[in-house]
């Protein structure tokens, strides 16, 4: 019992610099989980589609960016061209996959996104190959040095690219919230999520909104791909990180942007704290593979709609 309730806290107090490092690493992971979850939430809110393809969109966007640059295109032009590709992808998905399935049960649309995932994996591997590629971090002007701080005489290493990722993610979230709350198109997205029939009756175009949300999900995928790719390269292995967004969605609720952000940060930091202070000393480590799901399950026991999801009341 001492090892569970006393030793971890003594360790935290004894090495506060290390605790700060753990929290920082958790924050960086968490914000990237939150970004992936945001892509899921946006599409679910506006179309009730659980987009299984969000993970592969991260890989596809990052590979496209690196691919353009490898062809000699300047870095920021590559970003613009990649955004163009993500827009084309959004239009194609709406025209070819989603439009013919309007009115079909949710599970059919979900299955369609699995199809999109498989297509993007195969198409991506044909075009880009399966090799690990170097993200064009420096070419994009992202600093790659690190700040070495010595709080309480200890050591705290802050990678500048991680700091950049956190700032970029925060700006993206703020921009997204502003777009959803203060623009006509943003309000249309929210209206479609609140009551699709009512939204359609006042002239909101389902097709336009679907293209828009898939494009925004593509932008989020690109930012996430750059941030993750800067850490350990760009490869199809990035796709598996998307599965870490699932407990974030369970925790935060499928429809809540706030939930995705807070859920991502909570899971990122709590799984890191648990792994370092309880998992590694007591359970042999590698608890990050299941901790987030356990946490989400516990939350679901008490709040089936997630921490920030809307409580559904059905009258009979």
Partner 1 sequence: MKHFTTLAAAAVIACSGVAAAAESLYVPNLSYRTGPFASTGIPLMNGQRDYMEMLNARDGGIGGVKIDFEECETGYSTEKGVECYEKTKGEAIVTQPWSTGITLQVLPKTNVDEIPILAPGYGFSPMADGKTFQWAFNAPSGYWDGADMIVQYLESQGSLEGKKIAFLHLDHPYGKEPLPILEALAEQKGFELLPIPVGLKEMQNQSAQWLQIRRERPDNVVMWGWGAMNAGAITEAVKTKYPMENFIGVWWSGQDADLRLVGEDGAGYKSISWSFPDNDAPVMAAIKEHVVDTGKSLSNESEMGGVFYQRGIVMSMVLAEGIRTAQEEYGTPMINASQLRWGLENLDITEERLAELGMTGMVAPFSTSCADHTGHSGGWMLQWNGSSFEKVSDHLSPDVASYADLAASKASEYAEANAPWAVNESCDSAS
Q: Is residue 233 part of the contact set for partner 1 (CB under 8 A)?
A: yes
**Number of Cα atoms under 13 Å in the Cβ half of residue 85:** 21
Q: Is residue 286 part of the contact set for partner 1 (CB under 8 A)?
A: yes
Place of tokens 């309730």: 5
Which neighbouring-strand residues pair with 146? 159
CB contact at 8 A, 144 and 161: yes
Of 31, 210, 239, 309, the one binding partner 1 (CB under 8 A) is 239
Q: Is residue 128 part of the contact set for partner 1 (CB under 8 A)?
A: yes
Return all residues near 213 (Cβ < 8 A) that are at least 6 apart. 42, 43, 45, 46, 47, 189
Q: Is residue 243 part of the contact set for partner 1 (CB under 8 A)?
A: yes
CB contact at 8 A, 253 and 86: no
At 261, phi and psi to the nearest 5?
-70, -50
The span of 80-88, 103-111, 185-193, 283-291 binding partner 1 (CB under 8 A) equals 283-291
Which neighbouring-strand residues pair with 163? none
Q: Is residue 248 part of the contact set for partner 1 (CB under 8 A)?
A: no
Of 8, 270, 288, 305, the one binding partner 1 (CB under 8 A) is 288
Q: Is residue 231 part of the contact set for partner 1 (CB under 8 A)?
A: yes
Of 61, 212, 252, 275, the one binding partner 1 (CB under 8 A) is 275
Q: Rg of the chain over CA atoms, in angstroms?
A: 21
Of 276, 295, 296, 299, the one binding partner 1 (CB under 8 A) is 276
Extended beta strands in the chain, E state = 146-149, 156-159
Report in angstroms how near the CB of residue 135 gets to partner 1 at its nearest: 9
Q: Is residue 238 part of the contact set for partner 1 (CB under 8 A)?
A: yes
| Contacts with partner 1, residue ranges (CB under 8 A) | 15, 18, 21-22, 25, 28-29, 121, 125-132, 134, 146, 157, 159, 228, 231-233, 235-241, 243-244, 272, 275-276, 280, 284-286, 288-289
């Amino acid at each position: 019992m001492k090892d569970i309730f006393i030793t971890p806290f003594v360790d935290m107090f004894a090495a506060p610099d290390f605790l700060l490092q753990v929290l920082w690493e958790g924050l960086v992971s968490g914000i990237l989980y939150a970004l992936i979850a945001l892509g899921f939430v946006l599409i679910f809110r506006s179309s009730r589609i659980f987009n299984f393809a969000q993970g592969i969109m991260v890989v596809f966007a990052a590979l496209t960016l690196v691919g353009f640059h490898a062809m000699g295109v300047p870095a920021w032009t590559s970003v613009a061209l990649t955004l163009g590709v993500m827009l084309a992808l959004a239009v194609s998905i709406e025209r070819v996959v989603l439009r013919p399935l309007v009115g079909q049960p949710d599970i059919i649309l979900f299955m369609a996104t699995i199809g999109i995932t498989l297509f993007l994996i195969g198409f991506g591997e044909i075009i880009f190959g399966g090799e690990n590629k170097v993200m064009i971090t420096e070419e994009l002007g992202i600093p790659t040095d690190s700040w070495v701080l010595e709080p309480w005489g200890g050591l705290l290493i802050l990678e500048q690219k991680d700091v950049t990722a956190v700032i970029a993610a925060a700006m993206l979230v703020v921009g997204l919230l502003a777009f959803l709350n203060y623009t006509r198109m943003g309000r249309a997205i929210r209206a479609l999520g609140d009551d699709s029939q009512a939204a359609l009756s006042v002239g909101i175009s389902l097709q336009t909104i679907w293209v828009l949300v898939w494009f925004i999900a593509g932008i989020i995928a690109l930012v996430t791909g750059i941030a993750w790719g800067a850490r350990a390269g760009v490869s199809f292995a990035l796709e598996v990180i998307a599965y870490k967004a699932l407990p974030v969605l369970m925790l935060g609720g499928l429809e809540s942007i706030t939930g995705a952000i807070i859920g991502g940060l909570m899971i990122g930091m709590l799984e890191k704290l648990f792994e370092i202070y309880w998992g590694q000393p007591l359970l042999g480590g590698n608890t990050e593979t299941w901790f987030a799901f356990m946490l989400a399950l516990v939350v679901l026991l008490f709040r089936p709609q997630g921490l920030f999801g809307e409580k559904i009341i059905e009258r009979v």
